[in-house]
Structure 1
Amino acid sequence: MSRKILILVENLPSPFDRRVWQEATSLRSAGYHVSIICPTGKGYEKYYEEIEGVHIYRYDLPLEGEGAKGYAVEYSAALWHTFRLAWKVRREQGFDVIHACNPPDLLFLVGLVFKLLYKTKFIFDHHDINPELYEAKFNRRDFFWKLMVWLERATFMAADISIATNESYKCIAIERGKMDPEKVYVVRSGPKLDRLKFLPPVDSLKKGRTYLVGYVGVMGKQEGLDLLLQAVQYIVHDLGRHDIHFGLVGGGTSLEEMKVLAEELRVSDYVTFTGRVPDQELLEMLNTADICVNPDRANEMNDKSTMNKIMEYMALGKPIVQFDLTEGRFSAQGASLYAAPNDYKDMGDKILQLLDSPDIREKMGALGYRRVRNELEWKYEEPKLLQAYDAVFD
């Protein structure tokens, strides 16, 4: 039987999107013929290339959406290019399954067309809960929120099976999406330890200070970087600690806004914003960090979502401070201290508690590393992905 897969992803280019790339290469290693349609990005400008046997087709997006109109333009362009390239992939590579990774919850339209015309199977890989994401970004439940709920429901209806990143997402698939529980597979986003290498610390990243606190992730509104910067202000100006530097790695729509906020809070000398950087620079920052932080704001979206950065911190043996969220606590367990939700002063206090307790840091870091190595690494999730594919081809 032919086993050819087309993966659709809109928010990041491949192979930069770690989860998508791990899925693609795992399927390729299992004997599947894999193609991906995704946007271009910095360092990923080619419209077509083959990497590790995976065929990647890319398109340009007009802008990164911010606000309802911005997202409408971005998603409309993405949908058009995805349809256009899907026909091209069908001619050049062929596919029996379309594997759509949200956001947006519009990609089911591509799957539905090929399902109706050619009986192509459709898998929904549920990366983000978009109604909750919309509410986190805009703090309202209006027409567009209702539209998000409808599109999510339509996506689940179109899916032959769905893949959830955790048990919270599985519950949404079953309860809100009305999916048959036997057709929902939990495949967590475990890291690959061969990518997250231990490196010697780079002392210059501490900018002459004793300690470094590390962060890696998207710079967006729901990521709580404003709360982290307020925690920095509290640590530096209220508590008088001038021995700590903060290294923040990542890009996003709020990056420039966060730089301005750091200036306004008078903490810009204590914070390095790197923007999006190659893996080597990311690993240097995390390996140098004494602790790492996850300031994701407490809301319905973040409470139910598994954050890749938490497990990346753990894979490098770093103790963590984060707000107390359901899936964040499940991932980190004893490798993290948990601040009261959205309380930046408590986050600041927890950061200092860890920095001033080297023995506790060492124990927590070792616990987190063991948990990733023995339970959460991608090699434990890969069989679950292949099981889902066995079911869709059964």
Structure 2
Amino acid sequence: MTAADAPRVLIIVQNLPVPFDRRVWLECLALRDVGYDVTVICPQGRGTGAFQVIDGITIRAYPPYAPGGSALSYVAEYAYSFTATAYQLARVRRAGRFQVMQACNPPDIFWPLAKLLRRVDGTRFVFDHHDLSPELYRSRFPEGARLPLRGLYALERATFRTADRVTSTNESYAAIARSRGGKDASRVTVVRTGPDPDRLKPAEADPDRRRGRRYLVAYIGVMGPQDGVDLALEAANIVVNQLGRTDVSFTLIGGGDSWDDLVAQRDRLGLQDYVEMPGRVPDEYVISVLSSADLGLSPDPKNPLNDVSTMNKTMEYMAFAMPVVAFDLRETRVSAADAARYVPANDVELFAKEIVGLLDDAETRAIMGKKGRERIERELAWQHQRTGYVNVFDELTGRRER
């Protein structure tokens, strides 16, 4: 098959730039490797341009919109993103029709574009189900108005109805696609966001990452209102200022809506010397920190969204053979199994004590880390998820039958 004959796939993602969105980037590479021509429309990352071709993947990006944190600001953000995406779509379609369009959520707003492409070009639609938008709203705005929530349920239903196939990140999400979304089980495929163990693996530890202390505790992930980084900071405060453990450094990597507030919280707690918060950093920095850390934190609090969501950071810690401390969430247990210690929901004091207990037990840390790495290699790695994902596209384009 020549490049001109390759089936074209369009992937739309709104909440993260590509290739920073690891799941979407692994999906892009998987499709490329079996002969698809992949184009991505997404927001621009820091320091990147509007047009890039990376490893054969075409990326068309638009300037990001920074939400203000209120429900109304998200409405404005999504309206802007839909318009910017539609504009980029009009441009990339000039090169020819797309056989398949994939939209990732949140938000659940791109189904009208899928309907338009289906009507004009016969394009099939894959809904890559990353998040539960109604539960996300309930978690961020527990006292929020009911009208926006009803609107989110309506948008979700429209997305499910429009989709030819749904790829869900775990069994909990797949069950929602079948029940709330009304999708037949044959049209729903679980594609977990498994890390690539060949890329994410322990390297040589860098003692400087510990900043002169015996232990290093790490966090990597988004820093939004529902991600629990504020709870991680409270736990660090207990570890350092109440339990007197001045032999522990913390490095919390990532950015998001709450980053500025979290830095201010750290400073109020007097933890500037103990907690490093560098924001989003290059992969080399992440690998260096995770290779040097003694354990990883998954402080996501129990709420309607987190309890049924798969946390990518948990599996990334496992890929680096790190034990995990997490709140007791249903899908976190499915992912981590014996590689994590589980703390009753949102109990920060017990979370802090579990951190200290594991730091003081090197033998248990080693056993848990080994189990986590083995679980990634044998069951959860992207290589075990990739085939099911590619099969969805092969079925929709008729390539599997041929």
TM-score, shorter chain, exceeding 0.5: yes
How is 1:83-98 mapped onto 2 (pairs within 5 angstroms)? 83-98=86-101
Does the CA contact (< 8 Å) of 1:191 and 1:311 recur in 2?
yes
The one-letter amino acid of 1:253's match is D
2:222 and 2:65 map into 1 onto residues whose CA distance is 20
Identity %: 42
Does the CA contact (< 8 Å) of 2:100 and 2:393 recur in 1?
no
Residue among 228, 231, 235 paired with 1:231: 235
Normalised by the length of structure 1, the TM-score is 0.97
**Number of the residue aligned with 1:109:** 112
How is 1:201-240 mapped onto 2 (pairs within 5 angstroms)? 201-240=205-244
Does the CA contact (< 8 Å) of 1:65 and 1:73 recur in 2?
no
Structure 2 unaligned residues grouped into runs of 5+: none
1:343 and 1:222 map into 2 onto residues whose CA distance is 15
**Number of the residue aligned with 1:292:** 296
1:50 aligns with 2:53: yes
Does the CA contact (< 8 Å) of 2:209 and 2:292 recur in 1?
yes
Which SS does the other structure have where 1:70 is aligned? helix
Per the TM alignment, residue 2 of structure 1 is displaced from its structure 2 partner at its CA by 5.9
Which deviates more, 175-184 or 53-62? Answer: 53-62
Does the CA contact (< 8 Å) of 2:255 and 2:279 recur in 1?
yes
The one-letter amino acid of 2:171's match is E
1:248 aligns with 2:252: yes
1:6 aligns with 2:10: yes
**Number of the residue aligned with 1:16:** 20
**Number of the residue aligned with 2:287:** 283
Does the CA contact (< 8 Å) of 2:111 and 2:162 recur in 1?
yes
1:2 and 1:250 map into 2 onto residues whose CA distance is 36
Which SS does the other structure have where 1:297 is aligned? coil
Per the TM alignment, residue 57 of structure 1 is displaced from its structure 2 partner at its CA by 0.8
1:352 and 1:197 map into 2 onto residues whose CA distance is 25
Residue among 132, 140, 143 paired with 2:143: 140
**Number of the residue aligned with 2:199:** 195
**Number of the residue aligned with 2:367:** 363
Does the CA contact (< 8 Å) of 2:99 and 2:397 recur in 1?
no
Superposition RMSD in Å? 1.3
Alpha-carbon deviations, 1:243-262, whole Å to 9, x = none?
Answer: 11110000111111011111
Runs of 4+ in 1 over 3 A off after TM superposition: none
The one-letter amino acid of 2:7's match is R
Aligned length: 393
Per the TM alignment, residue 93 of structure 1 is displaced from its structure 2 partner at its CA by 4.7
**Number of the residue aligned with 1:385:** 389
1:243 and 1:255 map into 2 onto residues whose CA distance is 25
The one-letter amino acid of 2:49's match is K
1:83 and 1:143 map into 2 onto residues whose CA distance is 26
**Number of the residue aligned with 2:73:** 70
Per the TM alignment, residue 198 of structure 1 is displaced from its structure 2 partner at its CA by 2.3
How is 1:105-184 mapped onto 2 (pairs within 5 angstroms)? 105-140=108-143, 142-184=146-188
Normalised by the length of structure 2, the TM-score is 0.95
The one-letter amino acid of 2:123's match is T
1:40 and 1:309 map into 2 onto residues whose CA distance is 23
The one-letter amino acid of 1:15's match is P
Per the TM alignment, residue 228 of structure 1 is displaced from its structure 2 partner at its CA by 1.1
Which deviates more, 159-168 or 234-243? Answer: 234-243
Does the CA contact (< 8 Å) of 1:2 and 1:96 recur in 2?
no
1:202 and 1:73 map into 2 onto residues whose CA distance is 44
**Number of the residue aligned with 1:344:** 348
2:87 and 2:283 map into 1 onto residues whose CA distance is 32
**Number of the residue aligned with 1:335:** 339
Compared CA separation, residues 276 and 24, structure 1 to 2 (3 A): same
1:327 and 1:93 map into 2 onto residues whose CA distance is 41
Residue among 292, 317, 328 paired with 1:324: 328
Does the CA contact (< 8 Å) of 1:33 and 1:54 recur in 2?
yes
Which SS does the other structure have where 2:273 is aligned? helix
Per the TM alignment, residue 359 of structure 1 is displaced from its structure 2 partner at its CA by 0.3
1:63 and 1:223 map into 2 onto residues whose CA distance is 18
Per the TM alignment, residue 269 of structure 1 is displaced from its structure 2 partner at its CA by 2.2
Does the CA contact (< 8 Å) of 1:35 and 1:93 recur in 2?
no
Per the TM alignment, residue 230 of structure 1 is displaced from its structure 2 partner at its CA by 1.1
